[in-house]
Structure 1
Amino acid sequence: MKVSGAVAVVTGAGGGIGAALGRRLVENGARVVVADLHADKVESTAHELCDLVPGSAVGLAVDVSETDGIRALVDLAERRFGPVDVYAANAGIGGGIGLETDDDSWQRIIDVNVLAHVRAARLLVPTWLERGRGQFVTTASAAGLLTQIGSPSYSVTKHAAVAFAEWLAITYGDQGILVSCLCPMGVNTDMLTGGADLDDPVARRAVQAVTDAGGVLEPLEVADAVMAAIESETFLVLPHPEVLTFWRRKSADYDRWLSSMRRYQASLS
């Protein structure tokens, strides 16, 4: 898909990957609605984008785990810029550590990391089918292809996000709907350490597992990888190329991979 002239929605754009992706989109000629749960953060992002390219962006504070919030974003995009061409389901939250995570916390992360994608697709896909084009960009994680030491809810929901992206690509890929699925490892954002209790040894090991597995990238580096995938119509976006090597080892011998993961977990301080 050509980005120049496209209308995009980017969720979770109050900072990190979402804000960086918004920047790259407007720099390449797109007009963007940026969304976040926090009004001050998303307004700051929108102002920064408009400073780069006047009139290129508008921000809205909504909860994108709810259908009404997603509908408000789509309606705003249509009023200000036109029909949505690209929807980047980037909003995500971390999960609790271990089996102690309660049901309410499980439900919240499922709503944000998985069902927000489903609800967005329900709203957008029928219109995209009529128009014959549209692109859905899923921010998952390397945890969706491998796993996340420490957090079962993060691992499960990121696996589900990858699976839903695969399903969209299979079901609608021959009808003009493109899907890209982003699966990075460590990225220098608040999510990496901001929500972790580093005095908790389990939480500390979970963060260490990410930072030790590969280089920690800057959000703009990740956004560049996403932009390349949008332009080339590539499904799997791997800013950390070593993830593909890890995934191949996993799929080649599952039991050996599980054993190696247990040894790796035991080695973490």
Structure 2
Amino acid sequence: MKVEQKVAIVTGGGGGIGGALADRLAAGGAKVVVADLDEAAALAVAASINAERPGSAVGAGADASDTDAIQRLIDLAESEFGPVDLYFANAGISGAPGLEATESDWDLSIDVNLRAHIRAAQLLVPRWLERGEGYFVSTASAAGLLTQIGSATYSVTKHAAVGFAEWLNVTYGDRGIRVSCLCPMGVNTKLLYEGEESGDVLGVAATRAVTSAGEVLEPSQVADAVLAAMDEERFLILPHEQVLEMYRHKGADYDRWLRGMRRFQAGLLPGA
């Protein structure tokens, strides 16, 4: 699918991957609603886009996990630009590390990393079926295909996000609904370094696991990979190509892969 003349909503668009996606979409001729829990950040990204391409973006503060907030974003897009063609469920959180994560920690991670995608799809897919087309892009993580050392909340919810995107693709892929799932490893965003900054043993391990597993990409590189995949309507978007080989190793011999991951974890923080 070409993004030119399409209307898009990008959640978590106030910076990082979301901000880069919004910029690349506008550069490709799309109209973009930039949404973020941090309204000032969303407005700043939209202003930056409009400085180069006037009238291409509008910013809004929104909780991407809240159904009413998602509906308001859809209404905003329709009033400013027209019916929504593309939805980027990009907002995410790292979550609390280890088994010490509380019920509220789990609820928040599930809401932001999974239910936000489900709630958006529930609002948009029926409209897209009537129109005969639409594109849903889910930002998950390589952790959703492999795992995340240190953070159970992140690993579990990202696995679930991959599973939901996969289900959407299977269920509606022959009815005009396109679905892609983004699964990067390390990207140079604030989210990547939250574990290291926390000082928690498992949090530190989580950051070191990602930064030592491969190149840390810039958000703009990831955004380019997303638009290239959308052009080809590919489901799995892997900005780090080695993730596919890692995933194959996991499937080929699960127990061997698990042993290898335990060794990897031990090497990150010896004695921990």
Q: Normalising to structure 2: TM-score of the pair?
A: 0.98
2:257 aligned with 1:253, yes or no? Answer: no
**Alpha-carbon distance between aligned partners in 2 of 1:76 and 1:56, rounded to the nearest angstrom:** 13
Q: 1:1-269 counterparts in 2 under 5 A?
A: 1-194=1-194, 196-269=196-269
Letter in 1 for 2:173: G
8 Å contact kept, 1:188–1:217 = yes
**Alpha-carbon distance between aligned partners in 2 of 1:194 and 1:99, rounded to the nearest angstrom:** 18
**Alpha-carbon distance between aligned partners in 1 of 2:98 and 2:197, rounded to the nearest angstrom:** 13
Can you give the 5+ residue segments of structure 1 that lack an aligned partner in the other structure?
none
The one-character-per-residue Cα deviations of 1:78-122 (angstroms, maximum 9, x if unpaired) are 001000000000000011111000000100010000000000000
Secondary structure at the counterpart of residue 178 of structure 1: strand
Letter in 1 for 2:218: E
Letter in 2 for 1:121: A
The one-character-per-residue Cα deviations of 1:98-154 (angstroms, maximum 9, x if unpaired) are 100000010001000000000000000000000000000000000000000000000
**Alpha-carbon distance between aligned partners in 1 of 2:69 and 2:195, rounded to the nearest angstrom:** 24
Q: Note the C-alpha offset of 1:199.
A: 2.7
Q: Note the C-alpha offset of 1:230.
A: 1.0
8 Å contact kept, 1:27–1:52 = no
8 Å contact kept, 1:33–1:59 = yes
8 Å contact kept, 2:194–2:207 = no
Can you give the 5+ residue segments of structure 2 that lack an aligned partner in the other structure?
none
Q: Note the C-alpha offset of 1:198.
A: 4.6
Secondary structure at the counterpart of residue 197 of structure 1: helix
> Share of identical aligned residues, percent?
62
Comparing 200-209 and 229-238, the one that deviates more: 200-209
The one-character-per-residue Cα deviations of 1:143-187 (angstroms, maximum 9, x if unpaired) are 000000000000000000000000000000000000010000000
**Alpha-carbon distance between aligned partners in 2 of 1:232 and 1:73, rounded to the nearest angstrom:** 27
Secondary structure at the counterpart of residue 35 of structure 2: strand
**Alpha-carbon distance between aligned partners in 1 of 2:101 and 2:149, rounded to the nearest angstrom:** 14
Secondary structure at the counterpart of residue 97 of structure 2: coil
Letter in 1 for 2:248: R
Secondary structure at the counterpart of residue 87 of structure 2: strand
8 Å contact kept, 2:35–2:60 = yes
Secondary structure at the counterpart of residue 187 of structure 2: coil
**Alpha-carbon distance between aligned partners in 1 of 2:173 and 2:233, rounded to the nearest angstrom:** 11
**Alpha-carbon distance between aligned partners in 2 of 1:100 and 1:26, rounded to the nearest angstrom:** 42
Q: Note the C-alpha offset of 1:197.
A: 3.5
The one-character-per-residue Cα deviations of 1:216-255 (angstroms, maximum 9, x if unpaired) are 0000000000000111101000000000000000000000
Letter in 1 for 2:33: V
8 Å contact kept, 1:14–1:44 = yes
**Alpha-carbon distance between aligned partners in 2 of 1:238 and 1:90, rounded to the nearest angstrom:** 15
Q: Note the C-alpha offset of 1:76.
A: 0.3
Q: Note the C-alpha offset of 1:204.
A: 1.2
The one-character-per-residue Cα deviations of 1:12-31 (angstroms, maximum 9, x if unpaired) are 00100000000000000000
**Alpha-carbon distance between aligned partners in 1 of 2:259 and 2:195, rounded to the nearest angstrom:** 29
Q: Normalising to structure 1: TM-score of the pair?
A: 0.99
